[in-house]
Amino acid sequence: MIAVGFAGAIMVGTGLLSLPAATRSGNRTELVDALFTATSAVCVTGLVTVDTGSYWSTFGQVVILLLIQIGGLGIMTLATLFTVLLSRRLGLRARFLAQAETKSLNLGDVRGVVRRIVVFSLVSEAVVATLLTIRFATAYQRPFGTALYEGVFHAISAFNNAGFSTYADSLMGYVTDPWITLTITAAVILGGLGFPVVFELVRTWRRPAYWSVTTRITVALTVALLAIGTVVFTLAEYANPGTFGPLNGPQKLLAGFFASAMTRTAGFNSVDIGAMRPESLLASDVLMFIGGGSAGTAGGIKVTTFGLLAFVLWSEMRGETQVNVGHRRIPASNQRQALAIVLLSAGTVAVATFILLAITPYRLDAVLFEVVSAFGTVGLSTGITADLPPQADVLLVLLMFAGRIGPLTLASALALRDRNRRFELPEERTIVG
C-alpha cells in the first residue's frame, strides 16, 4: 500500500510536470526528466536533471513544492503510525509499562498524531520561511514578493530534507551568510530528527534520564556525526582553492558545519561538490548512507539503525551476551532487523554502483557518490546528474524510490513477520573470521 501510494503520487507529478505550462519555454518535458524530477520531489531527494529555477515555470515549481510536501508529510505520518501499529505486537502489560516510561504515542490517538505532525510541519516551515524572507528582502534587496516566494520554497525544501533550490548553484552564493545557512541547517535537522523524537524532546528535554532508547541514540549520534563531519570537512577542504580555500577561518568552520548537516540527506550545498577532495567525498558517502532520524523527513539507513549496530559491536567486543542501551535491553529481533536493513542497503548500493560504472564513463568516486546520494535521498551531486544517459536516470529513479520507502517498509515487515517455531534444531558453531 505504501509503495502504491508513493508510486501514484509520482505518476501524478510526472503527468503535471509533462504539461507545457510546467516549463518556462512552453515545451513539453521529456518523460524521463519529468519522471526523474517527480520522483526526486516525492522522495524528498533533490537530484535534478534540469535546473529547477530556470527550466520550470512558476506552475512547475509549485507542483514540485506540493510533491515535496506530500512526500515529507507522508513519510513522517506513515513512519509514526507504524510505530503505533507495531506497538500492538506488545502484550498489554508491556505496552502500559512502555507508554508510562517513554510517554509514547497512544494507540487511540491516531487522529491526534496526524494532526500534530501536520501542525508541527507547517508551523516549522512558516517560521523558517519568515526568517529567510526577511533576510532576502533586507540584505539582498529582493522585492518582497520574490523574497517571500524564495523564502517559502527553500523553507519547505529544507524542512522536508529535499534540497531543491531555485538557484542554479544551490546556496553557494550564501556560503558566508550565517543567517541563511544556519536557518536552513536548523530546518534540516529539525525535520530529520523524526516526529516521535521531537515530540518527546519537547516534553522531557530537561529530563534526559526519561528519554526512550530511540531518542537517546538519535540525539547522541546526530550531535556526534554533525561534529565529526564538521571537523572532517573543515580540515580536508581547508586549503582547497575550489571550496573552502578563499574563505577565512570562521567562514570555513561555517561551511564545514553546513556541509556536515547537508550530507545527512538535505542536499543543499554552499560549495562546489565536484571540486571537493576524494577524502571529503568518501566522508560524504558514509554520512549520506547513515542518514538521519527515524520517522522524519531524512533518508539513509537511519542513525538508530547505525547506533544499534554500534552497540551490538560494543557488546560483542566486551563478551556480553545481551545488548544494553542505558538501562534497557535490546531484543534480538531488533538487532536482526537492523542487520538486515544495513546488509540489504549496502548490497543495493554495490549493485547499482556496478551497473552505473558499466553504462557511464565516470570514475568510481563520482558514481558511488551519485548512487549513495540517490539511495539515501540526499540530493547532492558532483555535477554528473544532468549528463547521465536515460537508462542511468531510470536506475537513479528506482534507487530514490527504494531508498525512500525501502527501510521503512522493510523494518515494518520484519517486525510484523515475527514467527515462532515449535522446535529448535541442534546447535553448531561455525568458523567466523
Structure confidence at residue 95 (pLDDT): 47
pLDDT: is 139 or 209 the higher one?
Answer: 139
Where are the chain's structural domains?
A: 2-416
- Look up residue 193 and give its three cell numbers: 530528527
pLDDT: is 106 or 339 the higher one?
Answer: 339
Number of CB atoms found within 10 A of residue 103's CB: 15
- Mind listing the pLDDT tens digit for each residue in 120-163? 899 999 999 999 999 999 999 999 999 999 999 999 999 999 99
Structure confidence at residue 79 (pLDDT): 61
Least confident of 30-34, 186-190, 216-220, 296-300: 296-300
Instruction: Kindly report each contact of residues 287-290 with a partner whose C-beta sits within 8 Å and lies 24 or more positions away, as own/partner.
Output: 287/225, 287/229, 287/260, 287/263, 288/263, 288/264, 288/372, 288/373, 288/376, 288/378, 288/380, 289/345, 289/346, 289/349, 289/372, 289/375, 289/376, 290/225, 290/264
- Mind listing the pLDDT tens digit for each residue in 74-96? 766 666 566 655 555 544 454 44
How far apart are alpha carbons 339 and 349 in whole angstroms? 15
297 in Cβ contact with 191 (< 8 Å): yes
Helix axes 178-193, 110-139, angle to 10 degrees: 170
- Look up residue 265 and give its three cell numbers: 540527506
pLDDT: is 214 or 107 the higher one?
Answer: 214
Single-letter amino acid, residue 39: T
For the question of whether the overall pTM of this predicted structure is more than 0.85, the answer is yes
Structure confidence at residue 294 (pLDDT): 80
Report the residue count for the chain: 433
Q: Is the dihedral of CA 247, 252, 255, 260 positive or negative?
A: positive
Structure confidence at residue 266 (pLDDT): 87
Structure confidence at residue 130 (pLDDT): 97
Share of the chain above pLDDT 90, in %: 64
Of 284, 280, 406, 393, the closest CA to residue 342 belongs to: 406
Highest mean pLDDT among 84-88, 95-99, 113-117, 164-168: 164-168
- Mind listing the pLDDT tens digit for each residue in 28-83? 999 999 999 999 999 999 999 999 999 999 999 999 999 999 888 876 666 656 66
Q: Which pLDDT band, with edges at 50, 70 and 90, does 105 fall under?
A: very low
Single-letter amino acid, residue 86: L
Average model confidence (pLDDT) for the chain?
Answer: 88
Instruction: Kindly report each contact of residues 246-251 with a partner whose C-beta sits within 8 Å and lies 24 or more positions away, as own/partner.
Output: 247/175, 247/176, 251/175, 251/176
Which helix (H) or strand (E) segment holds residue 325: the answer is: strand 323-325
Structure confidence at residue 25 (pLDDT): 94
In the predicted structure, residue 379 carries a pLDDT above the cut 80: yes
Count Cβ neighbours within 10 Å for each residue of 226-246 and write b for 16 or more, e otherwise: beebbebbbebbeebeebbee
Of 47, 40, 11, 14, the closest CA to residue 29 belongs to: 14
Torsion of CA 122, 176, 284, 42, to 10 degrees: 30
